[in-house]
Chains A and B, each alone.
Chain A
Amino acid sequence: MGDTNNRSSKRKRNGNRSEQWRAALFLSPTWVLLLLFFFIPGALTFYLAFTNMALTGAAAANTEFVGFQNFTYMFQDETFRISVWNTIVFLIFSAVVGQQVLGFLIAFLMNGRNQTFRSIIGSIVISGWVAPEVVTAFVWFAFLNDTGTVNAIIESIGFKPITWLYTFPMVAVIIANIWRGTAFSMMVFQTALSDVPKEVEEAAMIDGASPWQRLVRITIPMIMSSVVTNMVLITLQTLGSFTLIFALTGGGPGNSTETLPLYMYHQAFVNYQLGYGTAISLILLLIGIIASLLYMKLLKVKL
């Protein structure tokens, strides 16, 4: 069986030269676009991260190869350390915990409820995901503002208003990002939960398992692969997240919400240190590459 398959495919491969040419022709626009605007810039990152390229100052006139200078500087750079820490805090609390737990909770509670009710709640949650990031930033800028809705509610129950964007800027961007991204995890978990066979849960129920036991011992283990894949995907999404924080706090006040993408932007386009900015990009890219490889491994695609 396998042998005949092999032979016929071999015949096809050798016999049809025009197919090979046509394939090359059809794939050529893809190659051109990807090489020019995706892989070359990606490869450039590895080169430019080791230069002192700048738009102003002495280094602007002649860009030089400086070896690991950007990276030795990076490890002494206090702001870099802060931005790594901010990235980790933002990633864990807004995506890995916030979006996933809330997304799972919504999907789990929705499972088997009234269809109309489900689609109303689902649409509301998804609208936060469909709205462009700049709009999300604007909406949350208003909602958490000194004179915004949240403070009006806080005052109405007798507390002092909070200057969210100045006193708790990290909390503000985390909440905004949870609002924006929960829909994605919710949809992933809805699909995963609908694939859990009813019989298994019913059998556990007959055996006298409590709802909590059923959740922890049966439902969650059965959707574990979705949880892990989702975690990698939202990590990749959150890692590159720029617009929401940039438009909401600009990385401030001070550098309290400066994550790696924002620090990269500030170094490259505000301080004009393109070489150092690229070195920070390289760190981001390397984390992205690792997460992306992990994602491919998890998907276990058959090609």
Chain B
Amino acid sequence: MSSVKRKRPLFNRYMANRALPYIVLSIIGVLFLLPLLWLVLASFDANATLLLKLPEQATLENYTATITSADNQRSFVNGLILALGQALLVVVTAGLASYPLSRYQLRYKKMFMYIILFATGLPITAVMVPVYQFFLYFKIQNSLFFTILFLAASALPYSIWMMKNFMDSVPVELEEAAWVDGASIWTTLRLVITPLMLPGIFTVGIYAFSGSWGNFLVPFILLQSPEKLPAAVTIYQYFGQNGIVQYGKLAAFSILYTMPAVVLYIIGQRFMSQGFSFGGANKG
């Protein structure tokens, strides 16, 4: 009898213990979601304000206006030039570097990898003032090309680190078989290594692309002409301006600008089969 009496509160407590994590996590989820929800709803609202509300007049007008504006198109193209140019440069440079670092016995390899790892930790913000002076001195400021070079250099340490780890996991035997068949090093690189390295190449490329796509500080400091500024800087200028801001349009612009980062993150997840690793996992 007494056991039945005791069972009920125990059971309830068990239920409460089971439900508690779900309740707490749901609250946290809602708190994280609310700010973003405003952005999404405002982008479809013809009369968007700063308040989270369902649009009385749902419209695609904000998106069409954003897409058809020549200024916005240019800022997207600039962002694409910076991000694609940098990603391409990073993939090629890091890919080339990772081959000898993974395959050959080099006396300076250990030192080199330590320097690379050390550099992944340094905050880029701390070198922006001297970099600006450097660009000023050689009169290379306000140039998309040199901005790409700087962005590539800043993404290179972590990219080499990742690329070398991917290269290490590609078996040497396949290369050796190709050599036996008389293939040159370049042919081997092109026809044997590159296809096997595709996950690594995509992971590094995505990391590099989203890093410079989202970067505000570097183009903000190194580029001056309005026609060269990427979307990151344009968005800042829109909402930093005094006067009436069209929040709906700015929200649509923000979502269009965020989309590539989200899509690439999802694709990147599929390549990163080993899950989340610590090695130089610095985003800044």
Contact = CB atoms under 8 A, between A and B. Distances in A.
Contact of B32 (A125, A187, A303): A125
B9 interface: no
Interface residues of A, number: 96
Interface in B1-55: 21-22, 24-26, 28-29, 32-36, 38-39, 42, 49-52
B48 to A, nearest CB: 9
B99 A26 contact: yes
A281 B130 contact: yes
A231 interface: no
Interface in B255-284: 257-258, 261-262, 265, 275-276, 278-279, 281-284
Contacts of B183: none
Contact of A48 (B114, B133, B156, B214): B133
Interface in A148-206: 148-149, 152, 179, 182, 184, 187-188, 190-191
A44 B35 contact: no
A104 B94 CA distance: 34
B174 interface: no
Contact of A132 (B25, B150, B156, B232): B232
A184 B149 contact: no
Given A135-B254, A237-B284, A284-B126, A243 B235 contact: no
Contact of A124 (B32, B122, B284): B32
B50 A42 contact: no
B221 interface: yes
B185 interface: yes
Interface in A4-48: 9, 12-13, 16, 19-20, 22-23, 26-27, 29-30, 33-34, 36-38, 40-42, 44-45, 48
B123 A288 contact: yes
Interface residues of B, number: 91
A216 interface: no
A38 B120 CA distance: 11
A38 B130 contact: no
Contact of A240 (B125, B235, B247): B125
Contacts of A37: 131, 149-150, 152-154
Interface stretch (B59-67, B100-108, B194-202): B100-108
A96 interface: no
Contact of A301 (B106, B117, B258): B117
B267 to A, nearest CB: 12
A139 B131 contact: no
B94 A30 contact: yes
A22 B25 contact: no
Interface in A250-298: 261, 264-265, 268-269, 274, 277-278, 281, 284-285, 288-289, 291-293, 295-296
A222 interface: no
Contacts of A9: 105
A61 interface: no
7 closest residue pairs by CB, A with B? A240-B123, A292-B121, A23-B100, A132-B214, A37-B153, A240-B125, A284-B126
17 contacts: A9-B105, A38-B157, A109-B25, A125-B29, A130-B258, A133-B216, A134-B235, A139-B38, A147-B49, A147-B51, A152-B52, A191-B276, A233-B281, A239-B125, A247-B236, A261-B125, A269-B132
Given A23-B100, A30-B93, A45-B126, 18 more contacts: A20-B104, A23-B106, A34-B119, A38-B119, A41-B134, A106-B25, A110-B25, A120-B29, A132-B261, A138-B239, A147-B51, A149-B52, A182-B32, A184-B283, A190-B276, A237-B282, A247-B236, A278-B130
